Each structure stands twice: as structure tokens, then as C-alpha cells.
Amino acid sequence: MEYIKNRTYLSIPEMLNDLDRESLYLAFQEFLNNPLKLQKEVLIDILNFAKDSEFGKTYSFESINSIEKYQNIVPISEYSDYTSFIEEMKLGKEDILFNGNTDSFIVSSGTTGKMKYFPESKRGVLSKNLVMNLRSTQLAILAPEFLKGQSNILGIINSSNYGSTEGGIPIMSASGQGASNYNTRDENKGEDIDLKMVLPDELLNASNISHDDKDYLMALFALSDENLTAVICNNLAHFNFLLKQIQDNTFKMINDLEYKQLSVDIDEKLKEILLDKLPKNKERVNELKKIYNNKKTLPIRDIWPNFKTVGCWLSSSVGRAAFDIKRELPKDINYLEWGYGASEGKFNVPFKMNVSSGPVAPFACFFEFLPIDGENPLTLNEVKEDQFYELIITTYSGLYRYNLHDLISIKEKTLKTPNIEFECKYSENAICKNNKIYASNFTNVLKKTEDDTNEFISFFQVFIENDKVNYILQPKNEDFNKIQFKKILEKHLIKDLDIVLDKIYIMSKDYRDSLFKKEISPGKTITSTKLPTLVNREPKMNEFIKEIIFE
């Protein structure tokens, strides 16, 4: 491929990083027309830049010249296989999992709650950045207003500042790392994109502050900006929490903006910094007062007339929350899946609005797909549409045949590259009548029931008891036809999964948000929270149970 010909000492990510935005997008489209060719080159490229490392010497990377040989020599791995290497790298030791030094560490609590540290090489960082840049470009193509003139973006992300390791290497979160890609003008590449982030870095990185106070301040800064154009976040539920802050604290926020003050109890130094960044705009205050006096509330379309675009997760349980919140937002807002990724990497670039899948980014890492029936891993050209696989990656940052334990599905192709979508964690399954059933199976049954009944469930969970399934449902509508819904749900459960329905728990509208609040903790926010679909037992919070429907 012409974009990566004649390379000498530069890696594929380094060469792609030299391209301007338009050329990078054209290169990506070329890659999508022949992904396997690039995948082979990416694998050899990764091994070449790790052949002098401790890991590379152990597995003779220098001698590997094909996918088949790589698969025969290097075993499938998981996080526990890297912990001893990572501890050395945290101390600053070089040439461990890849050639050279460690650029940074990405920290993740994962699904277990135990903190994990993923080392990043400079090439690995570039690989993620390129995927993020392509996502921004695709968003601009689908929603031109996003990058037309100046775009004021509400980027709801986790703190990027987690200090340093014992060896002085920076630690950051995955979403914090991604935030560096919402760049302003790039004069060296002739870009004409001008992005303004609504939230100050000092607020996003503030640690000694309660979640409620932080949400209040995020909402206050958002409310101060009449030109807000787009919201970018992983979990749209967090944006919903900010909207509730505005509605619950309307007078206090307008007063804070009018007198340029902060009605929260936070560190005085942080308060001084934030006050300096909070705009004092008399016209904006008068406008908000006028809107409220006329409508007794602050409707989104009135306070942000230019707000037209949302980039967020649209898959799995987070996606259900997004589609629920979408029903309360203005109808003319465009939604783009912000892409499947994790602390370990960024994996696809969605191409369509309101669709939760996207084509694999074949330059980002080397992909393998492990069938759930236990067969041998497949390469990108071997996967089949509508099938489920565990995703295995080999990255520029020292993960080799690493099993993410994510269950993904293969969708239709974009050009000649399969689209992938995150379904659930592979571990999120239940044994019923000696059969393994995944969370996504229960989701698909619920979707069919919703289609047949014209109902929508804002949030749901399931648990298995005595080989029968129990659904915990938070309906969207107060006049939810529970009897009809139960009848249709039973039909699909028996037909698709051969499972009998036991009970349905009808929950109040605050149930999901209460679970989000329980999940947040220092270092973990709603932004990074995925609520489990499969749980072990009936709801513990009885105050949210409206009714239990038995057989």
C-alpha cells in the first residue's frame, strides 16, 4: 500500500501520523478494501519493534515471518501473564515487552474492580490517537456542524492525571488519554478545525472533590456556554446526570453565573482557578432568566440551540441507556457510536449514525477471533457474519495474542472489512439446564419482545434461579402493559433459549440511576461504568420494586 511503502526505521503508526487529516482518511478507506494485507504487515511491524525486548527474544520474534508461525510460537495470553513484566516496567526498566522505554501507563479497574496497569509504547499511543482522529473525522462527515467553524464540545471524561509510577512514568485513564485527541487547530498540517472544550482540564482532573460537586460544576460550565455544539462521552447516562443537576439547581446555577461564584464546598485553590475560567456573561444570564420565566424550566433546545451531535457508546447495556436518554432529547440530534475500545486499545471506526458497530481499524493492532465453541482462532478474513467471538489482540504496546475476554459480534462489512460490535464480557454468562447462555442472548430476547409489543425497557437485568430466568425491568412508560409483555417474553424465551420465565420485577424509574450512584467511587465515575446485565440474585433495593409478577 502506497501509504506505507519504503519504510525504514518508522513504524506504520508513525508514518500514518505524518499524514494530514484528509490523507489519513483516504488511507483508511484503502485499508478497508484489503484489510488482511495490512494485518499481515502490522503483525510483522509490531514484532520488528519488539524483537530486541526481553519478551521478543524469549519467543524469537526475529524469526517470525508469517501469521501461522506467530500463532504456533506465541500462546494466547491474559493480564496475569504480564504482571511480572509490568512491575519491572513501572520501575522504569526498558526493553521488556517492546523495544525502548515505556511512554505511559493506562490504568483500569476492569470488571473485577482490581486496578490493572497497561504499559504504552510511543507507537501504541500513536495507534490509538489515529483511531480517535478517524472517529472525529467520520463524525464530521456524518454531522458537518460538529466541525464547522468553532465547535464547543462538552467532553465528559475521566481524569487523565493519576500521578506517576515508582519510576516516574505517567499514569492516566483510557478516556483521559483519548481526550488529548480533541485537538484544536493543527497549523503544521494545515487543518482548519477549531475545537473548544467546554470543561476546564483542572475540573476534569480534580480529585479531592465529591462526585455530586463535580457534576454540579460540569453542568454549570456547560450551562454557561450558549454555543455548545456536541457532547462526547462514553456513557450518555453521565450527561443525563448533568441535565438533572441543571433542572434541580436552576436558580443556584443562574445565580452563580450572574455573580461569578461557585456554590460548592471545594478546595480554595481549585475554586480560584475555576472562577478565573468561568465566563461572566450578563447577556447569557439574562437569556437563561428569560427562558425560565417563560417556560418554568430550561429546555435543552432553548439553552443550547446549536447542540446537534452526540458521540457515545451505543452498544451493550450502556447503549440501552443511551437510547433511553435519546428519547428525552431533541429529535434533530445526531448520534454516532464513539467506537469500541478498552484500556488495551481502540479497535474500530463507526461509519453510520445510530448504529453500534463499525469496521475494524486494521492498522491499530493485529486481530484474532476466538470462536466460542472452542475452535482455533480466526483472522479477520475468516470470521463470519452474525457469529460471536472472543477478541484477541496483538498491540504495539506489548500485548501478544492477548484475550480481552470480550464477546463481540460480526456484522456486515464496510467495503471489504467486517464491522464488529461489543456485546458483553465473555464471563457474563449463566448456566441454565446445562447450557451456557450469555448476557447478549437475554438482550436479544428482550429486543424481540419490545418489537412485538411496541414497548421500551429503559434498563433491565436478569438472574437465574432453579433453571428459570427472572427479568428485572425498568419500563420507560408508566402505562406499561406488563401482562402482554410477559406473555410475549415467555414465548421468545422458550423459542430462542428453551428457558422458562419465573418472575418479572417491575422497577421504578430511578432504579438504574441508583445503581450508577452505587458504582461510582474514587477513580471510577458514571462515564466509565457499565452496569451488569446478569446478576446473582433478586434486587436488594426493595424500595425500587413496584410489583413482582409471578406465573
Tell me: the pLDDT tens digits for 91-149? 999 999 999 999 999 998 655 557 899 999 999 999 999 999 999 899 888 887 665 66
pTM, full prediction: 0.91
Do 101 and 201 reside in the same domain of the chain? no
**3-state SS record for 172-203:** EEHHHHHHCCCCCCCHHHCCCCEEEECCCHHH
From the centroid of its chain, how far is CA 521?
Answer: 18
Q: How far apart are the first and last CA of the chain?
A: 62
pLDDT (0 to 100) of residue 147: 58
Do 237 and 384 reside in the same domain of the chain? no
Do 198 and 89 reside in the same domain of the chain? no
Residue labelled with grid coordinates 501520523: 17
What phi and psi values does residue 549 have, to the nearest 5 degrees? Answer: -105, 120
Do 545 and 465 reside in the same domain of the chain? yes
pLDDT (0 to 100) of residue 189: 43
Do 407 and 436 reside in the same domain of the chain? no
Domain assignment present for 445: yes
Do 33 and 158 reside in the same domain of the chain? no
Range of the domain at 284: 144-307
pLDDT (0 to 100) of residue 278: 96
Neighbour tally for 505: CB within 10 Å:
21
Domain assignment present for 478: yes
Do 95 and 33 reside in the same domain of the chain? yes
pLDDT in tens, 173-182: 876 655 555 4
Domain end residue (candidates: 368, 402, 425): 425
Domain assignment present for 418: yes
pLDDT (0 to 100) of residue 529: 86
Do 459 and 418 reside in the same domain of the chain? no
Domain assignment present for 134: no
Distance CA 176, CA 461 (A): 30
pLDDT (0 to 100) of residue 151: 77
Element of type H or E holding 21: helix 21-33
pLDDT (0 to 100) of residue 537: 85
Domain count, the chain: 3
Residue 190 has pLDDT above 50, yes or no: no
Closest C-alpha among 240, 219, 232 to residue 288: 219
Distance CA 137, CA 152 (A): 16
What phi and psi values does residue 321 have, to the nearest 5 degrees? Answer: -60, -40
Domain assignment present for 327: no
pLDDT in tens, 479-529: 999 999 999 999 999 999 999 999 999 999 999 999 998 887 666 778 888
Q: How many CA atoms lie within 13 A of 438 on its CB side?
A: 20
pLDDT in tens, 304-322: 999 999 999 999 999 999 9
Query: Do residues 532 and 428 touch, judged by C-beta distance below 8 A?
Result: yes
Domain assignment present for 324: no
pLDDT (0 to 100) of residue 184: 37
Here the cell at position 528 is 466509565
SS3 309: strand
Q: Sorting pLDDT into bands at 50, 70 and 90, what band is 183?
A: very low
Domain with 451 in it: what CATH number? 3.30.300.30
pLDDT in tens, 243-253: 999 999 999 99
Domain assignment present for 162: yes
pLDDT in tens, 266-277: 999 999 999 999
pLDDT (0 to 100) of residue 108: 83
